[in-house]
Amino acid sequence: MVQKGLLIVLSGPSGAGKGTVSKALMPVLPTLWFSVSCTTRPPRPGEVEGVNYYFKTKEQFLDMIENNELLEWAEVYTNYYGTPRKPIEERLAKGQNVLLEIDIQGAKQVKRQFPDGVFIFLIPPSLEELKKRILGRGTETEESFSLRFGAAADEMKHISEYDYVVVNDKVEYAVDRIRSIIQAELCSVARNREYYDQIIKEGT
């Protein structure tokens, strides 16, 4: 019997640092498989097909939706983004742990289909810090800042739908916390009941 892999969902408000933390996790957890999203937005310089995204035409993307090939998807500013279902399900079935880095709406969709996933909410150390990070991008007008900051503060309310909150005070600390959460979940009795029932049978 192969123990099913864990589906780890890393989400959180915009500006929390999901992308940075998830990139920093790769060398720390080399056996973890990082899901790659598809998108209809054109590749940016340096982006590689299958590494950063699977780049799709709008028609291809709509077909994937139609055929239920996406675990979750969203339209963001005229572009589509989504998570292919099949590679994730295949890896989980083989016992591999999978990491999904997605926004809060996406996480909500995933939770409906994988209620036993491990849902981690990454947050900035404070709303002040969040403000700085959004401004630090240097791409925001005052109006778009208010919009983003208001949305991020609002998104904090979703904490209660998650299993864990990780404060991203420093990337390496956040990475260590996520590694710990995964390791702890792998030790959880609830997730290993079948396995231990077998050991107990052997011993008696």
Residue 80 beta carbon to a copy of itself: minimum distance, rounded to whole angstroms: 30
Among 204, 185, 7, 183, smallest CA distance to 98 is for 7
Beta carbon nearer to a copy of itself, 157 or 170: 157
3-state secondary structure 112-162: HHCCCCEEEEEECCCHHHHHHHHHHCCCCCHHHHHHHHHHHHHHHHHHHHC
Q: Compare residues 82 and 117 and give the one whose CB is closer to a copy of itself.
A: 117
- Judge whether 94 is annotated as a binding position: no
Q: Is 17 annotated as a binding residue?
A: yes
What gap in Å lies between CA 172 and CA 168, rounded to an integer? 9
Taking the complex as a whole, the smallest distance from the CB of residue 197 to a copy of itself amounts, in Å, to: 9
Sheet holding 54-55, edge to edge: 54-55, 38-39, 79-84, 70-76
Say if residue 12 carries a ligand binding annotation. yes
Task: Establish whether 19 is an annotated binding residue.
Answer: yes
C-beta of 74 vs 165, nearer to a copy of itself = 165
Which residue's CB is nearer to a copy of itself, number 53 or number 164? Answer: 164
Give the nearest distance from C-beta 125 to a copy of itself in angstroms.
10
Positions that interact with a copy of itself (CB under 8 A): 120-121, 127, 153-154, 156-157, 159-160, 162-166, 176-177, 179-181, 183-185, 187-189, 192-193, 196, 199-200, 202-204
CA distance 96 to 31: 8
Query: Was 13 annotated as part of a binding site?
Result: yes
User: Nearest 10 degrees: CA dihedral of 141, 145, 148, 153?
Assistant: 180
Query: Minimal distance in Å, beta carbon 200 to a copy of itself?
Result: 5
Nearer to a copy of itself, 65 or 199 (CB): 199
Which residue shows structure tokens 């709406």?
Answer: 105
Q: How far apart are CA 93 and CA 159, in angstroms?
A: 28
Q: Copy the structure tokens of residue 60.
A: 């291809």
Residue ranges of the annotated binding site for ATP are: 12-19
